[in-house]
Amino acid sequence: MKLFDPLKIGGMTIPNRIMVPAMVTHLCKEDGVVTQDTIDRYVRYAAGGAGLIVVEAMAIHQVKSGPLLRIRDDNYIPGLRELTQKVHATSDSKIVPQIIHFLKVARSGWRQTADMLSLAEIDQIVEQFGDAVRRAREAGFDGAELHSAHAYTLSSFLSRANPRTDEYGGDSLEGRLRLIGRVMENVRRKAGWDFPVGVRINAEEFIKDGYTVVDSKHIAVRLAELGADYISLSAGGKFEDAVHTPGQVLFPYNGYSGDRCMPGDWLPRALHAGIAAEVKAHLLSRGHRVPVAVAGKLDAPRDAERVVAGGMADIVGIARGLLADPDWPIKVRSGEADRIVQCDYCNVCKALDGTHRTVICALWPQGSIQAPADDPAVQAPKWAQAEASLTAIPNQSRVELKWPKAAGAATYQVYRADEQGDPQMIDAVKVTFWVDSGVLGGHTYRYFVRPCAATGTPGQRSTTATVKVPAPSYMAAA
């Protein structure tokens, strides 16, 4: 698979095209220092074989913001160095920190916007980025990624909704690009041209008046000209359409743009691959061979391979899929994709992030704060009887499924196919029942359930239950 070809990114070579995009963990404390739990989380990804691990965003400035990592002064270097050493001791995965500056938010719903920053404050941000990347280098990271996506400062300047009227906005593309340009220049000066620096941007903002691929093609060209060693594409995740919960600070992932950024189960797979392909094609047409990464429901191995092999992007970011199963790369490479603990896009992880709690995957065993280690000795779950009988009962526009318990099952994957389709996993649950409210009356569906051990090892599938959902009465005439 092309997915497992190494790739040179500036001075570093990643062993494969699989990236862990930055994901908040809340595994550190208010002081923002790396903890053993933080280290355990990233070492787990390294053990699983990810090519590039982007460590959750770490702040370059002094600001109250809960349990988020910091890189704002040299005191943070020892903790970060321990993290990089442990990851490097584990595998050939490369590790970079995501470097972030964000503006202030208040529980009232108020938020600081780009136009509230003085020129002196902007100058300070420029210096802080350079200093932070220099610290990343000293801490042993293989490179760094500047966070210029979602709801954060660099992105707010890049935004088509940037409200500034001076040279950092003023309704011109160059104005919007000025801050990231100055930041890159400062980063290079302080951390060196030979230190790989990537930039993450939104391929589209997905907000009213926000920019689209029409602009992001040009933004990507500028980043290439600035010497970015990779360009990572995300989308949405903006404050502009966030829904304010009284008493909470705004969470930029709960509006429509948040749906696009961390898509739930009702959004399509590989939903930003097409936009990435447009950006990639534009870069190539302008002579820029800078690697492009893209994320967004790419955890199906065939989607990931299609994106890389088809040249839509060079690297696939798989966030929730690798949270659910850090061994995804090893399992895909060794032909054991059927042992992957598959993300069902329930977004419990997103809800935990939104309420500042430790981010875990709902598919992990109860109480775990890390994915269970793969263990060859783990037995496949076993049904009590030779054949596990799945019952499927149509009931008022829904189909109710029930099945027996299987010994050693941590989760049950529910599969469905309609008359012409292949079975697709439509959910993964810890209980022994499920209700399908997405069926069409008059159609026949086949279901089966697969019990899975915590490490993903599947047991035998249940019997297949075939059910014809009654057509609604108004269809009699059709």
- Which residues of the chain form contacts with a copy of itself (CB under 8 A)? 160, 167, 170-175, 177-178, 181-182, 184-185, 188-189, 206-215, 218, 221-222, 225-227, 241, 243, 254-259, 266-268, 274, 278, 285-287, 396-398, 419-420, 437-442, 469, 472, 474-475, 477-478
Nearer to a copy of itself, 151 or 409 (CB): 151
Task: State the alpha helices, DSSP H only, in 289-446.
Answer: 301-309, 320-324, 328-333, 348-354
**Straight-line distance from the first to the last Cα atom of the chain, in angstroms, rounded to the nearest whole number:** 48
In the bound state with a copy of itself, the residue whose beta carbon lies nearer, of 171 and 375, is: 171
Q: Cα–Cα distance between 345 and 340 in angstroms, integer?
A: 14
244/254 Cα distance (integer angstroms): 9
Residue number, 97 or 210, with CB nearest to a copy of itself: 210
- Helix orientation angle between 301-309 and 273-285, rounded to the nearest 10 degrees: 20
CB of 172 to a copy of itself, least distance (A): 4
Q: Which is nearer to a copy of itself, 279 or 330 (CB)?
A: 279
- Contacts (Cβ under 8 Å, ≥6 apart) of 110: none
What CA–CA distances, in Å, run from 427 to 249, 290, 372, 443? 31, 37, 20, 20
Q: How far is the CB of 348 from a copy of itself (least distance, A)?
A: 17
In angstroms, the Cα distances linking 29 to 7, 66, 74, 346 are: 35, 7, 18, 26
* Shortest Å, Cβ 380 to a copy of itself: 31
Q: What's the min distance (Å) between Cβ of 437 and a copy of itself?
A: 4
Strands 382-383 and 406-407 come out as antiparallel
Helix (H), strand (E), coil (C) string for 33-81: CCCHHHHHHHHHHHHHCCCEEEEEEEECCCCCCCCCCECCCHHHHHHHH
By beta-carbon proximity to a copy of itself, the closer residue of 52 and 177 is: 177
Phi, psi of 131 (to 5 degrees): -65, -40
478 exposed, middle or buried (CB, 10 Å; 0-12, 13-18, 19+)?
A: exposed
Token pair of 291, please? 């690697």
Residues ≥6 apart with Cβ < 8 Å to 155: 147, 148, 149, 201, 202, 238
Residue 417 pairs in a beta bridge with: 446
Nearer to a copy of itself, 398 or 446 (CB): 398
Nearer to a copy of itself, 172 or 389 (CB): 172
Q: Which amino acid is at 456?
A: G
Q: How far is the CB of 421 from a copy of itself (least distance, A)?
A: 8
Q: How far is the CB of 301 from a copy of itself (least distance, A)?
A: 20
How do beta strands 433-436 and 398-402 pair? antiparallel
Please report how close the Cβ of residue 205 comes to a copy of itself at its closest, in angstroms.
Answer: 9
Q: How far is the CB of 261 from a copy of itself (least distance, A)?
A: 12
Q: How far apart are CA 447 and CA 402, in angstroms?
A: 11
- We find the least distance from the C-beta atom of residue 188 to a copy of itself, in angstroms, to be 6
Give the chain's radius of gyration (CA, Å): 23
